[in-house]
Chains A and B, each alone.
Chain A
Amino acid sequence: MGLEQFKNRNVGTQNYKVLDLEMPPITAMEKFKQVVSRTFKPELFAGLGVTLREMINALFRGKMHTTQYPFEKLPISPRYRAIHEMLRLLESGHYRCIGCGLCEKICISNCISMDTRYDENQRKEVTEYTINFGRCIFCGYCAEVCPELAIVHGGRYETASEQRASFSLFEDMLTPIDKLNLQQEYQGFGAISSNADENIKKTPLAY
């Protein structure tokens, strides 16, 4: 359904249907007729039939709906914004973060704090990186702003902890080096779209 139908505020032009409701009974005879017809219509048994059908569906046709949560989990969307992950470069295994500080700057609840320094190759090295998950609102801005697709949202949504303010360190969020081959590219906020290649226009050399 398109948005236009909701935006149409002109009464009378929308697709509303008038239900064909009977008038309520007025005379005693009409009331009596209604009682008799309601008494002998098998509507109550239709109700019993529905519940019995659902019971048979659940027990014998494998249509039970329950997910026994701690033991089974429903799949979540790849765009879901749960606890952050820091990704690594697939080729070298080095972390992707270049220490630009954009995520720290944009974070609207001010919960990312980081520190960097130049290493011996004059390359920026991340020395401190923590996210205070007691304050993070999982808005996804950090993932969107990150130029290297380094900080992304993962799927770990069970965030109960002993502390009210639970911090995550850089190492906790970084993909373990032995699980590098399992690292998934994030599909959500800030990720490149699947047809990104088509959208790229070649920059003319003499620009």
Chain B
Amino acid sequence: MVDATMLPEVTAAGVIIKAILILAVIAGLAGFGTYIERKILAFMQRRLGPMHVGPHGVLQLAADGIKLFTKEDIIPQHANKIIFAIAPIITAATAFIALAAVPVFPDFTIPFIDVYVPSIASDINVGILFVLGMMAAGLYGPLLAGMAQSNKWGIIGSARTAIQFLSYEVVTGLSILAPIMMVGSLSFVDFNNYQADGALWLVVYQPVAFVLFLIAGFAETNRTPFDLLEHEAEIISGYVTEYSGMRWGLFFIGEYANMITIGIIASVVFLGGYNDFWFIPGWIMIIGKIAFSFFFMLWVRASWPHVRPDQLMWLCWKVLMPLAVINILITGLVMMIV
């Protein structure tokens, strides 16, 4: 692990390049994620998935993009037009702002112009709180979108957003508190260094916190067991019922960027971060971990039924929150004794 003092100075140019990189790569990945999702879900049902646009359908993303861009942008007559228009931007923007404080790629220096590009766009000392707060603020998107579109399914969708938000947020915070206590810092870099040099991954010390965080993360990204906001079989499309074209696309980019963020947090906080593992270099490890957590979300979507809103609330407040509190108590006691 390189000592932090030995790293070159972070310049504004480096941060800007980093920001553009994150935007480009994650937006591309988020779009590509829809293709991967369709393929994996198809394979799990022994189907082929998209096949016709490009070899094995890899250019499906381009076809979808053209469709989304050229679709008519409809704002319903009785909708609150301003809020309706900015709601998707809130979701997408907060998802990318959250990515500003997580380590996305390893740091590197651009050779000829000698600009150092850091691994985190901004390594703030309350990194975890900032990321979780931003992702939570992202739920304003669905909430406002559902209420602004004057559609009953949208209203139900935003009511469910509120329920979901009230349920999982407490679990996210409490579950990640135990690792924070052990590391004694809120910065992702400290989490990474804590698990460096052959130290055990935090998931070994904190299996309960890891499981709780995963459950809350699924709720945070509205992935399948908790995809209450837009469950097609029940409420048409929930908060996106009236959206079309690129505004709808922004919600999706936000959702997939959030999935990647949750994958990054889970890998950095619990799964050893971007440290080298045995002989595998760190950047392959972190990509592998993020890819696996992405795959896991799709795998779960293919396998498990989704829960009702009241069941989610019951689960979060009556089962997961007490477990999280007990976990924190035990962690505290063990830290006091050892």
Contacts and interface: CB of A to CB of B under 8 A. Distances in A.
Interface of A: 35, 39, 44, 47-48, 50-52, 54-55, 57-59, 63-66, 68
A68 B47 CA distance: 10
B46 A57 contact: yes
B299 A68 contact: no
A68 B48 contact: yes
20 contacts: A39-B319, A48-B299, A48-B300, A48-B304, A51-B299, A51-B302, A52-B44, A55-B40, A55-B46, A58-B46, A58-B47, A59-B43, A63-B46, A64-B46, A64-B47, A65-B46, A66-B42, A66-B47, A66-B51, A68-B48
Contacts, number: 44
Nearest to A45: B303
Contacts of B11: none
Interface SS of chain A: helix, strand, loop or mixed? Answer: helix
B44 A54 contact: yes
B319 to A, nearest CB: 7
Q: Which 8 pairs from chain A and chain B are nearest by CB?
A: A66-B48, A58-B46, A47-B303, A51-B44, A51-B303, A51-B302, A55-B43, A65-B46
Instruction: Kindly name the residue among B44, B47, B319 whose own CB sees the greatest number of chain A CB atoms within 10 A.
Output: B44
Contacts of A44: 303-304
Contact of B47 (A39, A52, A65): A65
Interface string B148-187: 0000000000000000000000000000000000000000
A59 B48 CA distance: 9
A126 to B, nearest CB: 45
Nearest to B301: A51
Contacts of A48: 299-300, 303-304
Interface of B: 40, 42-48, 51, 299-300, 302-304, 319
A50 B303 CA distance: 8
B46 A54 contact: yes
B212 to A, nearest CB: 12
A54 B45 contact: yes
Nearest to B43: A55
B50 to A, nearest CB: 11
Given A54-B46, A57-B46, A66-B47, 19 more contacts: A35-B319, A39-B319, A44-B303, A47-B304, A51-B302, A51-B303, A54-B44, A54-B45, A55-B43, A55-B44, A55-B46, A58-B43, A58-B47, A59-B43, A63-B46, A65-B47, A66-B42, A66-B46, A68-B48
